[in-house]
């Protein structure tokens, strides 16, 4: 999968022109405030349905405009197991949001679709920007998000399962929030909640078990001194030795006091330890960054094993990574055959990122939201 064309309307400061990208490498450069990050943000908007920089949709709509539209054409090289050769087709995907009516319109190949997942599945985007490094330094939520992104792209039906699960959580929370708990009603929702929690956990565990050996081999490949003492573990969100039903039963009072669900997939984590202690406490900032890059690469490999390709968006990596790390990342992404977008303030020097073989690339210069291909 690769984004071949993009057109935006009223998206931050981006001019409404149609851009055609390389399915391999796209190098975007321009001064501070010119629109580099906004372009990556618009691409990610199609693949995630939201901004990777801000939580409020209002922030990305051009100041003074009532709505935005992002439209893209993607190549789909999904390998169908029953097809003699990979099928290559293109799909047109679009998202528009109206701030006034709060309406979101989603389209795939000209047809309206209801769920964001129907759009997002066509463009798996993986962002590497200064915020990405929170995957190891931040709380479990970041790591759940990281794992679930793979699960969404690898496990068919996960998006629908996740929605059902969230509905069960919110019903259960409503009952727990009610001063006097209706035990019989809670029991009904508990059984739904437990069944869905087991399914969510099963999907996560299956994907984690495929991801872990890929990550270990990517780490072994770069041969860093600290790699031998790293351990990765999937934590489902409750004590694995106990049944979730028993855990809920024995913590009834605690949950009632807090007024919400405390055990289950919403507490899951991918625990990463170095010499038995969390990496955030033990590895240096530089080592943590290397680790996150390797996790992202392993995630790209995982998708590729499932016949899907990620589009990587590298924003402002010059500020975060030294030249050796940039080369390592760029080389691995080339070997993965992924589409890559890289932003920089200075004119790009691809010869510093790749020696033999140099991938095909396009260079774009941006000024005041206007992109020119060079």
3-class secondary-structure state, position 240: coil
3-class secondary-structure state, position 225: coil
C-beta closer to ligand ATP: residue 299 or 343? 343
Q: How far is the CB of 57 from ligand ATP (least distance, A)?
A: 10
Q: Is 7 in contact with 42 (CB distance < 8 Å)?
A: no
Query: Known binder of ligand: residue 100?
Result: no
Would you give the binding string for ligand ATP spanning residues 13-32, x where CB under 6 A is met?
x----------------x-x
Of positions 6, 27, 36, 133, contacts ligand ATP by CB under 6 A: 36
Structural tokens at position 274: 């170095």
Of positions 3, 8, 51, 62, contacts ligand ATP by CB under 6 A: 62
C-alpha span between 274 and 287 (Å, rounded):
11
Structural tokens at position 51: 């901004």
Structural tokens at position 25: 């490498």
Query: Known binder of ligand: residue 37?
Result: yes
User: Per CB under 6 A, does 157 bind ligand ATP?
Assistant: no
C-beta closer to ligand ATP: residue 66 or 228? 66
Q: How far is the CB of 61 from ligand ATP (least distance, A)?
A: 6
C-beta closer to ligand ATP: residue 36 or 122? 36
Q: How far is the CB of 26 from ligand ATP (least distance, A)?
A: 15
C-alpha span between 292 and 134 (Å, rounded):
9
User: Per CB under 6 A, does 37 bind ligand ATP?
Assistant: yes
Q: How far is the CB of 93 from ligand ATP (least distance, A)?
A: 22
Q: How far is the CB of 9 from ligand ATP (least distance, A)?
A: 12
C-alpha span between 224 and 291 (Å, rounded):
10
Query: Hey, which residues between 313 and 352 contact ligand ATP (CB under 6 A)?
Result: 345
Q: Is 146 in contact with 299 (CB distance < 8 Å)?
A: yes
Q: Is 111 in contact with 267 (CB distance < 8 Å)?
A: no
Helix (H) or strand (E) holding 279: helix 279-282
Residues at the annotated binding site for ATP? 30-37
């Amino acid at each position: 999968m690769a984004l071949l064309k993009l057109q935006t309307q009223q998206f931050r400061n981006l001019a409404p022109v149609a851009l055609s990208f390389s399915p391999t490498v796209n190098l975007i450069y321009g001064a501070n405030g010119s629109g580099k990050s906004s372009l990556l943000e618009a691409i990610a908007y199609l693949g995630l349905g939201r901004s990777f920089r801000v939580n409020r949709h209002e922030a990305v709509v051009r100041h003074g405009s009532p709505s935005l539209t992002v439209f893209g054409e993607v190549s789909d090289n999904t390998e169908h197991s029953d097809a003699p050769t990979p099928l290559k087709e293109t799909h047109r995907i679009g998202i528009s949001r109206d701030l006034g009516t709060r309406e979101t319109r989603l389209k795939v190949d000209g047809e309206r679709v209801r769920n964001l997942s129907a759009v997002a599945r066509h463009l798996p985007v993986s962002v590497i920007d200064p915020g990405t490094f929170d995957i190891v330094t931040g709380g479990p939520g970041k790591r759940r998000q990281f794992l679930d992104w793979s699960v969404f792209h690898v496990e068919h039906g996960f998006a629908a399962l996740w929605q059902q699960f969230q509905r069960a959580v919110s019903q259960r929370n409503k009952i727990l929030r009610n001063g006097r708990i209706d035990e019989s009603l809670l029991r009904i929702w508990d059984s739904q909640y437990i069944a869905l929690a087991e399914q969510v956990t099963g999907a996560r565990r299956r994907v984690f078990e495929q991801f872990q050996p890929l990550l270990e081999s990517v780490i072994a490949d770069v041969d860093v001194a600290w790699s031998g003492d790293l351990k990765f573990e999937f934590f489902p969100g409750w004590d694995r030795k106990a049944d979730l039903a028993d855990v809920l039963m024995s913590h009834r009072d605690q949950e009632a006091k807090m007024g919400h669900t405390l055990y289950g997939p919403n507490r899951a984590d991918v625990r990463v330890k170095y010499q038995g202690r969390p990496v955030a406490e033990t590895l240096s900032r530089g080592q943590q960054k290397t680790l996150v890059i390797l996790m992202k690469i392993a995630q790209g490999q995982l998708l590729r094993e499932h016949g899907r390709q990620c589009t990587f968006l590298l924003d402002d990596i010059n500020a975060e990574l030294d030249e050796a790390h940039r080369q390592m990342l760029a080389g691995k992404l080339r070997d993965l055959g992924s589409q890559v977008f890289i932003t920089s303030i200075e004119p790009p020097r691809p010869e510093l990122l790749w020696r033999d073989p140099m991938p095909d690339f396009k260079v774009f210069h941006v000024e005041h939201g206007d992109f020119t291909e060079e």
